[in-house]
A and B are shown apart, each in its own frame.
Chain A
Amino acid sequence: MRRNGPLALIFHTIFVVVMVAPILVVCLVAFTPEGFLSLPTNGFSLRWFRAIANYPEFIHAFWVSLGLGALSSFVALLFAVPAALALARYRFRGRDALAALFLSPLMIPHVVLGIAFLRFFTSAGLGGSFAALIIAHVIIVFPFALRLTLAAATGMDLSLEMAAVSLGANGWTLFRRVTLPLILPGVISGWALAFIQSFDDLTMTVFLAAPGTETLPVRMFLYIQDNIDPLVTSVSACVIAVTMTALILLDRFYGLDRVLAGKGDTGR
Chain B
Amino acid sequence: MSTAADERNARAPWALTAPALMLFVGVLLIPLAMTVMLSFHDWGQYKGIEPVFILKNWHEIVTDPYYAEMFWRTFRIAILTTLLTALLGAPEAYILNRMDGRWKSIFLLVILGPLLISVVARTLGWALLFGGNNGLVNKLLMSAGVISSPIPFMFTETGMVVALAHVMMPFMVLSVWAALQRLDPQIENAAMSLGAGPLTIIRRIIMPQIMPGVLSGAIIVFSLSASAFATPAIIGGRRLKVAATLAYDEFLNTLNWPLGAAVATLLLAALVLIVVGSNALIERRYAEVFR
Give residues in A with beta carbon < 8 Å to B. 1-4, 8-9, 11-12, 15-16, 18-26, 29, 37, 78-80, 82-83, 85-87, 89-90, 92, 95, 98, 101-102, 104-105, 107-112, 115-120, 123, 135-136, 138-139, 142, 196, 199-200, 202-203, 206-207, 217, 220-221, 224-225, 228, 232-233, 236, 239-240, 243, 246-247, 256-257, 260-261, 263-265, 268
Contacts of A263 in B (CB 8 A): 115, 174
Q: Is A83 in contact with B124, judged by CB distance below 8 angstroms?
A: no
* Pairwise interchain contact A109-B98, C-beta atoms closer than 8 A: no
Q: Is B174 in contact with A261, judged by CB distance below 8 angstroms?
A: yes
Q: Are A225 and B233 in contact (CB under 8 A)?
A: yes
**A136–B169 Cα gap in the complex (Å)?**
27
Instruction: Provide the bound-state CA to CA distance between A25 and B24, in Å.
Output: 40
9 A-B pairs with least C-beta separation: A22-B125, A109-B227, A264-B174, A120-B31, A86-B16, A116-B31, A90-B13, A236-B121, A86-B13
> Told that A18-B166, A110-B227, A243-B118 touch, could you supply 14 new A-B pairs with CB distance under 8 A?
A19-B114, A79-B23, A98-B17, A101-B21, A108-B32, A111-B229, A111-B264, A112-B265, A116-B28, A119-B261, A207-B252, A239-B120, A264-B171, A264-B175
A15 lies within 8 A of B92 (CB): yes
B281 on the A face (CB < 8 A): no
B118 to A239, Cβ gap below 8 A?
A: yes
Q: Which of B28, B110, B261 contacts A20 (CB 8 A)?
A: B110
Chain B interface: which size bin? 35 or more
B206 to chain A, nearest CB (A): 12
Closest to B19 in A: A79
> Who on chain B is nearest to A140 by CB?
B28
Contacts of B229 in A (CB 8 A): 110-111, 202-203, 206
Known: A23-B125, A79-B20. A200 touches B174 (CB 8 A): no
Q: B160 interface residue, CB < 8 Å from A?
A: no
Shortest distance between the CB of B30 and any CB in chain A (Å):
7
Residues of B within 8 A of A16 (CB): 107, 110-111
> Which residues on the A side are within 8 Å of B244 (C-beta)?
109, 111, 203
Q: Is the CB of B125 within 8 A of A4?
A: no
Q: Which of B99, B119, B127, B188 contacts A202 (CB 8 A)?
A: B119
Q: Say whether A236 contacts B124, CB under 8 Å.
A: yes
The reply on B164 being an interface residue by CB < 8 A is no
Residues of B within 8 A of A78 (CB): 19
Consensus secondary structure, chain A interface = helix
Question: Of B14, B128, B188, which is within 8 A of A92 by CB?
Answer: B14
- B118 contacts A260, C-beta separation under 8 Å: no
Stretch at the interface among B52-60, B65-73, B267-275: B267-275
User: Please, which residue of chain B has its CB at the minimum distance from the CB of A146?
Assistant: B20
The CA of A120 and the CA of B31, in the complex, are separated in Å by 5
Cβ–Cβ contact A107 & B248, under 8 A? no
- How far apart are the CA atoms of A119 and B27 in the complex, in Å? 11
List A contacts of B171 (CB < 8 A).
Answer: 264
| Interface membership of B136, Cβ < 8 A | yes
Contact between chains at A243 and B19 (CB < 8 Å): no
CB of A200 to closest CB in B, whole Å: 5
B27: chain A residues at CB < 8 Å are 117, 120, 135-136, 139
Pick from A3, A21, A203, A239: contact of B230, CB under 8 Å? A203
Are A116 and B32 in contact (CB-based, < 8 A)?
A: yes
Q: List 21 A-B contacts (CB under 8 A).
A: A1-B188, A16-B110, A19-B169, A79-B23, A85-B16, A98-B21, A111-B243, A115-B247, A116-B31, A119-B38, A142-B23, A200-B116, A200-B118, A207-B248, A207-B251, A217-B120, A239-B121, A240-B121, A260-B115, A268-B216, A268-B220
Question: Which residues from chain A contact B16 at a C-beta distance below 8 Å?
Answer: 82-83, 85-86
The interface residues of chain A lying within 8 Å CB-to-CB of B188 are 1-2
Bound CA–CA A118/B38 (angstroms) = 12
Is A206 within 8 A of B248, CB to CB? yes
